[in-house]
Every structure is written in structure tokens, then in C-alpha cells.
Structure 1
């Protein structure tokens, strides 16, 4: 399933680029961005801890997502539990259809994802969309081997493996439950209450940012594929007959698209177009999906994704999730590999209909007509004194089928008898015993099952992309420098403050500046360790956009200015202390540019 930035999407291999990723992962561990969890106990695959810098970056990305997809769009936000009872996932289809392809080495017992083995060792790029028998044929044809011990896998069966973590809810004869594999179900199951908060008015959206869990067969590539990850999801509920998106507001957004038709063509390639043109030409079939692609593109750019390494790729028919009528992924290029960061799916009424059927609750919205309407309704009032003796325990099933038949085909009641098919048997019911009638009824509205449009973002993969696209190496004053070109909006620390020397007066002034900047809502670090050049390098490496140095000119000059250094160009300007907080805050919000000071 590829709805959330956790599934594989299209991953080619390019071993020559691995050193870049290796440098980033090393930097991430050393500077407190992310590292494998439980290292004291040898670590555990697929689980990562975000350190002080990483947690701050991740939080800033989540806040930026919330601002755009919840606040700016006028959507609600909830926070649902991460453990849910088994019936939820019976209804959603996850118990039966949430699988990956597993192949187990007969010699060493190593479990691998069969589609990943195919993609990593053959020319197939989308093995996830292939049926299991075809994957087995490819493994045999290419004589693929176990990546751990080298044993041949040609005759080993590929099996489906359900990715959900199971648990028990309560002691003793506990109820079975599962850690949620997506945050979406927490929104869907609460729809009967959430629609009341929306005053039963469509369209409306509900967002959630939270943890999800998948027991990945072969987690890999640090935080790109993990077993615990964070999703930011929006479920947008619409009336499919009436609601239309504001396409005009995103029509001119330029996008790079890789539709299924181009992927299936021998000489297929990406298409450069706009959202408006893509809809007009039928490249993007659903207008709501197109709208959210248009919203997402500039947002991705604002948080630091390189637009030269970004595209939207349409799912092939074989890889779409069981609920999705259509789906496009937001993908970023990492070291020659395209990875999925988000899925934009049109889920139709699948989820709400399933939960309505399984729970018995009403997962619909009542749509009021402008004026009451008079309609004809076919009804039945069966004669139970006849049906009971005639059909015994099946009498109620006969009644249910008569009611369903009257609703869908009143012409079936035109003759002297009515034919009922029940469990493969045909029964003839005398018309007079059915109580069939057609009555006029005045109704004020109807119950509508909303359709769902879902932009689902993988936060961890986005964080990795932002870091990777921000990674830079250059030379300053004859020394090699590594720095992260992070956008000010998401940088973990916005400004570093340094007293030039270990001097009581310089340190006191630096302390005052730190307090003022924090009061202005800026993230600040203070560093007085080592020479000023090393302190600059430390902040450059974690992506701090600006550094403020308190020097002797600060305390000797009546104008009390400080040196402000910009990270990317290393250029410096002197600014008055009393204007510092206001100026830096304006730069962070984009209202002022450093070069214009």
C-alpha cells in the first residue's frame, strides 16, 4: 500500500552515490539528527530516535504542514489512539489486504522482500505491482540469491506477509488489537461524531499527525523505510455530486508528472505541465487530487525540497491500494533513487461504507433539499402467518430479500408471484403475501455517503529528503566546510550567539541577546567553546541560518552593534542590538532578506 510515504514507490539503485548518503547519516548521528534506537543493546532494525536537532527539524516540518493543510485550508485536527481493536481492521480491509511479498532463505532463514530483491538485482523498477507468480518467475529467471548468505532462491515460494503489529487490549481474555498501520482509520471510525463538529456540512477535512507502525520485512536506508514512522494525513470528505475544488487557485502551478501511460510506454518520460493543463488534458483524472497536488508542490518547495529532484508519479494499476480509484505519489530523488514522500489518493466511499456496514453506525451526512420533494417508494409488509410456517427459520431472510428487491426493482412485483433467490435456491412468493405497495412520501433530504480525498505525507522521509537536498560541501578560507542549506522556517536552530572571547562583559551581553531573541520566539543556541571559526563550522553543519557574534566593538561602540553572519555565503553585517530581534524575526518569516539589510 502506498498512501503515506512509507511504501517503496520507484527505487532504482546507484551504488556510486552511496558515499553522499553515508556522509549524511554520519552527520545525522554525530550532530543529533537521528540514529538507530536502543544502541546500548545492539540496536533494533527499523526503529530510529530523533535527537535534539532532528526532533526540532521534524517538529518544524510538522508545524509547517499543519499551517498549510489544516489551518490555511480550514480543516479540523484530531489525535486518535495508536492501538485500535481488531474489528476496525476487519472493516478497513487491512487484515486481508495489507501485505508485502516475503521470501525466506532456506539456508540461513533471512527474510527479504521479494519485490525489493527483484528491483535491486534486475531491470524491473516496479516489482511491487507484479503478482506473486510473476515475481517467483523473475527470481528463478535471474537466479537471485539470498543477500545474507548467497543461497539460491529460485525454487523458494513467495508468500504474503501481513505488516500489522498485533497486541492484546486488556488482561485475561483480552480483546485482540493492532497498532495502527496508518493514521487514517482513527479519522474514519470517528466520522459519526466528527460530522457533527462540521455541522453536517460537506465538504470538510480532518487532519492528524501521529505515529504509525508496520512490521517491515526488510527495513533499510536509515529513516527512509522503518517500522515506526510519523504520518501527516488529511481526509477530505466531499459530496461527489456537488462539491468541486478551487482549481483556479492552483491552475498555474508548474508540475513534473510521470503518469502511468508514460511509465508503460517504451520511450515514456516525465511531462512538464501545469495543474490546469494536466486536468484539461485528462492526465490527472480527478480534480480534487489535482487540487491537492497543486497545493503540495509549492509547500514542498517552501520547506526545502529541491524542485529539480521532485515529481508526481501516478500509481500503476497493480500497485494501487485496495481502496484507491487513483493515486499519485510525491517523489524525491535521493542519490539517483526516487522515493515516495506522500500519496494523494481518491478513496471514494470505500472507507465510510465499510465501517458503516461493519459497525451498524451511520457513516453518512444528511443533505437537506432546497425544497421538500415528493417521491414514490416501494414497500413490503409480508404476511408472517404465511411466511413463518412456509419457510421456518429462513422466513426473516425472505423478508429481508423482499425489502431489498422492492427497493431496487419494483417491476419484480408486477406478476402474481415474486421470485426470490436465497442461498442458491429459488422461491415463489404469492404477490398478495408480500404486502407490496407503492406510496408517495414527502422527504426533506437524503443521506449521502461522502467520498474521501486523501493527501497522506510521510514525515520521516520528508525530513530525510530535506536534509539530503540541503547537504552542501564547499571551501571557506582554504578549509573544507560541510553545511546544511536548510530553509529558515524549518531549521532546528535559527540563530547562534557567540561571545568572541571568554570575557565576563561579552558573555553578559551575549546572555541578554539570547534572552531577547528567545522572547521574540526565535530558536537560539549559545556557544562559547573554542575559537570563533570552529563555532561557525559547528552551526553551519547543523544548518543554523545565522550567527551573532558579540565582540569588543559591541561593548565599546556607543551604537552597540553586533556582527551577524549568514550561513550560506558567510557574509557578515553589523546590526544594532536593539533592532536585532525584530530584524531576524522578519527574515525568518520571509518579510525581509539578509542581503537587503
Structure 2
């Protein structure tokens, strides 16, 4: 079956079985917003819990929950108001708006049009005579403009404060850094995670829940000392990875490299040891939650497509419908974010690095004679004093002559050195303030959910009947076990009720189904991805055993009722295989 056919069937299954569907459908719906139904919400929660367990708990990182609306100055400092744009082209006939880079990628051999400058994209549209995806009208000659993706709002009534819905959860972590570093005892490295909603006013949301206007991110911001130790790569050095570096993408015969994390780091394919570490962790985690590793790779961003803050970035990508879909980004953000918020807020976004032993250093300082600067510069005397202090810190040689020059609002002024109070003195210091660098693994939860479902979708034939099932990993399946009485019978139903209650008490997600013949009930659970089913029959009433059926193979075995909770918990944890139960 083709990927496209799978996507069509999956979308229908998702709506019918309660995974996801377009929101506000009774009012006609609105593009880019989806509701997760009972199965989808459970699957999404399980994926989030699995991510939290691996990237927060197991890594020893903190977790916070910041507001989704933040005041305008946050995004002025972060750069989102100036640079968070997509390419907008409007159809001259029907008036529909489209992302110009997507129109190019969908209809030409260009794979990463997002990285190209707007004039070049306009030339490609004209050269290929590209048309509106909605009505077929020509787009050649139409202006392509930057469109900011931020959702604006107002905070409070009257002359309210402007604010924005966050386009990423990261800013909620960065602005709280001065407090969070205290919780980390001012010790680097430390990580802060957050799982929550983000909002981007997409020009043309598409492909179901792959590109939406409201979505969930799971992000880790790791704060590291730029001169500190690199991570220990030994836990992930043997992890096999498929890499698509920028050098291969720019090569006409470029190809995906099959290697390991250790080899890629040693050969410099992955420059940052921290990014290498998290690529290894992520690869193992994606496999554990059900992403098909034959349809998975890491692709390095080209220089033109990297975010304004990133010195390097790799995407985790899954193959769907013949296209590689971004699932996560792994960025080295440097000190951009903390420096910008320090500049914008006036607060200190640094950590004090304690020296092993106190050090004696030379410090240049000034003590200007204000009785001279006041009459000479009037109201600008304070600014001149500040300029002298800044100059002494960065260029003490400027004070080596009889006069020193300072620039004030574009004008140069000469000041006698003897009036500046310039001096160089020894000072003993215990350490220094450093601005940490940020390593960011950022995961899209909705896209991951879709990818897991797409990769889990399967069809086969059982007992002469066609069957559709979702081969979801037991750890993340929305329902873990179905419990059925074989048929309508008071004794069978009472026993089945007791079993369902015992399994729920064990912490397992259970569905109880007594509707229809047993084959149909199996098919229903197969289709929503339930890994195991327990059937209570008349033999159960005699010997206190039940039939346990495994979803993928449809094989069955009998287990004692008293052993069920422990056995099924072990199956969910991966401690035993189904074959071992026999």
C-alpha cells in the first residue's frame, strides 16, 4: 500500500475511532486546529509521559509550566517580532494565501526552498510558471512578502498591554533563567524542560495534524558552560544513526550516511558533542515509542534555513507520504537568548564560575573629575563618564597619552587623561560571571503522534477476513488491554467486571466490551491499537483461567486470573515477551 493511501485510511480511522478530527466542525471548522478524541488524547498523554521520563526524569532535569501568553517585550528581545516570518504569496484570482516555499517544493525539484532568499523564490515561481494550488491561476509576477507568524492579543482592559501567544515554549524557560539558576544552585550544566502548547499563525496549514496553528511542544533547554566539559558520549557512542549532513545535501550525488554517534562525533560530522549526545538519546527513544527506523533520519540544516539564533541545527525526520517530515530540532543556540533577555530586561542572565584558587588580575578603572566634566559637558557629563569607564575596560592603551578620545552621539571629544582618574591596579578575584550557552532538543508532539500512527498502520488477513490494526508499542498504546465476557451471561460478566477492576487497580488502561461477537470485538481493539485482549469463557468459571490474545500475531494463551495483573504489567514494561507467558 502506498504511503498516500495509508494517510487517507489513517485520517478516516482517526476520525471514526476518536484519535483526532478538525475542531469546531459544527460551525464549519477552521484550518489548523484539531481536537484529540479519547484515543488520541490518551496516546498523546502517553507520548508526553514517555518523553518526560526520558528527557526530564532520567536526565535529572527540572520541569516548569510557563504561561502561553507573554508580554511584547519578551518577543522584542527574542527577535521573534522581527524575524519569525514565512514567505506569503497571494493568488491574484481567488485571493487564497499560500506559503511560496511550499508551492516551490511541491512542484519543482527544490527540496529546501525555505532556505532561499525571496527574490530567488520569485524567480523560480516565474521560471516554472507555478500556479495557485487552489484555483490554478498563475503566480508568476506576484510579490512574495514576509508574513509574521505571531498571534497578537491584549493583556487586560482599556489601554491594555500588548502580548503574544508564544510561538515556542522555550521563551518561557529563558525569561525565568535568573530564578531557575538558583534552583540549580548556580551549577552548570543544568536542564529545564517544558511540555505545552505553542501557536503559529500558519499561512496554509496542511497535511492533517502535521502543520497546524496550535500544537504541543516538548522542549529541553540545557544550559552549559561554554568553556566547560563536554558530555560523556559512551552511553550513546554505538547508537546507529542515518545522517544527512549539509555537505551531502549540497552535493549533487549526496546521500544519507550510515554511521554511529561515536564515529560521527569523532569525524566532525556532528560538530557539537552535546548535539551528538542528544541525537543518540533521541534515536533510541524514537525507536522505543514506535517510529520505524527504516523511515527515520537526522538532517542538518543548511546555513540559509537555520533560525536566527542557531549556530548549528539538526532535525529528526520521519518519512510520510514520500516526504520527510520534521519531528524535532536539535539546536546549538549559543548565548543568544540569555544575552538578548539580559539586554532587554536589564537583569543579569549569568552564572558565577568559581575559580579553583583566587586569581590576581590587573583591572583598569577611571574616577573622572566631575568638577571638570560638569562645566565642560553640562548634562552630558554622566554619559561621558560612562563612556570613559567602558573605554578603560576594553582599551586601556587609549589612556597612554596626554588626552583620551571618547565618542558621544557620533561626536568625538578629547579629555585630558589627568582628569579621568585612570589607574591600573591589582585585584584578587574568586571567579567570574559567564553567560551559559544553550543546547535545545525541541520535539513536536502532534507530529510524532501522527508519525507513530502512520508507521503503526497495517493490514492483513485473519481467518479469511481483512483486518486493519495499529501495531502500537504497549508502552504508549491508548488502551492497553480489552476485557470481554465471551457472551451475555451473568456469571461471565461478573467475572469479567472483577478482572477489569483488578487490572485498572494495577494502573493499566482497560476497556470493557460485551457488544457483538468475539471476532468483531477483537477487530475493534486491533483497529485502535490495543495490544492485548482478555476473554472470559465458561472454562474460566471452572479453573480460574482466561484466554489472553496478542494483537499483532493474534496468538493466544491461557493464564490464571490471579496472575493477570502481574503478567500484563510485565508485558507493558517490556520485562517479558508474550511468548514467555506460555
Specify the TM-score bucket, using the shorter chain as the normaliser: over 0.9
Do residues 415 (structure 1) and 394 (structure 2) align?
Answer: no
Deviation at 1:16, TM superposition (A): 6.1
The whole-number CA distance in structure 1 between the counterparts of 2:228 and 2:310 is 21
Deviation at 1:395, TM superposition (A): 2.5
Q: How does 1:136-215 map to 2 (within 5 A)?
A: 136-215=122-201
Q: How does 1:384-403 map to 2 (within 5 A)?
A: 384-403=370-389
TM-score, normalised via structure 2 length: 0.99
Q: How does 1:338-377 map to 2 (within 5 A)?
A: 338-377=324-363
Deviation at 1:346, TM superposition (A): 0.3
Deviation at 1:381, TM superposition (A): 1.3
TM-score, normalised via structure 1 length: 0.96
Please state whether the residue corresponding to 1:385 is helix, strand or coil: helix
Farther-moved stretch of structure 1 (498-507 vs 390-399)? 390-399
- Corresponding residue for residue 544 of structure 1: 530
Deviation at 1:355, TM superposition (A): 0.4
Q: How does 1:441-480 map to 2 (within 5 A)?
A: 441-480=427-466
The whole-number CA distance in structure 2 between the counterparts of 1:449 and 1:251 is 29
The Cα offsets for residues 201-236 of structure 1, whole Å up to 9 and x where unpaired, read as 111000000000000000000000000000000000
Deviation at 1:255, TM superposition (A): 0.4
- Corresponding residue for residue 259 of structure 1: 245
Please state whether the residue corresponding to 1:489 is helix, strand or coil: coil
* Number of equivalenced pairs: 581
The whole-number CA distance in structure 2 between the counterparts of 1:339 and 1:397 is 53
Residue from 551, 569, 576 that aligns with 1:567: 551
- Corresponding residue for residue 304 of structure 2: 318
Do residues 440 (structure 1) and 426 (structure 2) align?
Answer: yes
- Corresponding residue for residue 585 of structure 1: 569
Q: How does 1:123-134 map to 2 (within 5 A)?
A: 123-134=109-120
- Corresponding residue for residue 8 of structure 1: none
Contact conserved, 1:203 with 1:243, CA < 8 A, in 2? no
The whole-number CA distance in structure 2 between the counterparts of 1:397 and 1:163 is 39
The Cα offsets for residues 68-121 of structure 1, whole Å up to 9 and x where unpaired, read as 000000000000000000000000000000000001112221110000000011
The whole-number CA distance in structure 1 between the counterparts of 2:328 and 2:437 is 20
The whole-number CA distance in structure 1 between the counterparts of 2:235 and 2:336 is 29
The whole-number CA distance in structure 1 between the counterparts of 2:262 and 2:24 is 49
The whole-number CA distance in structure 2 between the counterparts of 1:595 and 1:349 is 52
Deviation at 1:150, TM superposition (A): 1.9
The whole-number CA distance in structure 2 between the counterparts of 1:322 and 1:386 is 45
Please state whether the residue corresponding to 2:278 is helix, strand or coil: helix
Contact conserved, 1:209 with 1:232, CA < 8 A, in 2? yes
Do residues 234 (structure 1) and 220 (structure 2) align?
Answer: yes
Do residues 224 (structure 1) and 210 (structure 2) align?
Answer: yes
Using a 3 Å threshold, how does the CA distance of structure 1 residues 570 and 16 change in structure 2: closer, same or farther? closer
Please state whether the residue corresponding to 1:507 is helix, strand or coil: helix
The whole-number CA distance in structure 1 between the counterparts of 2:470 and 2:95 is 41
The whole-number CA distance in structure 2 between the counterparts of 1:106 and 1:395 is 59
Deviation at 1:549, TM superposition (A): 0.3
Q: 5+ unaligned residues in a row in structure 1: which ranges?
A: 1-14
- Corresponding residue for residue 105 of structure 1: 91
Farther-moved stretch of structure 1 (75-84 vs 103-112)? 103-112
- Which of structure 1's runs of 4+ aligned residues deviate more than 3 A? none
Residue from 332, 357, 365 that aligns with 1:379: 365
Please state whether the residue corresponding to 2:234 is helix, strand or coil: helix
- RMSD, aligned α-carbons: 1.0
The Cα offsets for residues 341-390 of structure 1, whole Å up to 9 and x where unpaired, read as 00000000000000001101110011111222111110111122222222
- Corresponding residue for residue 40 of structure 2: 54
Residue from 256, 273, 277 that aligns with 2:259: 273
Please state whether the residue corresponding to 1:544 is helix, strand or coil: coil
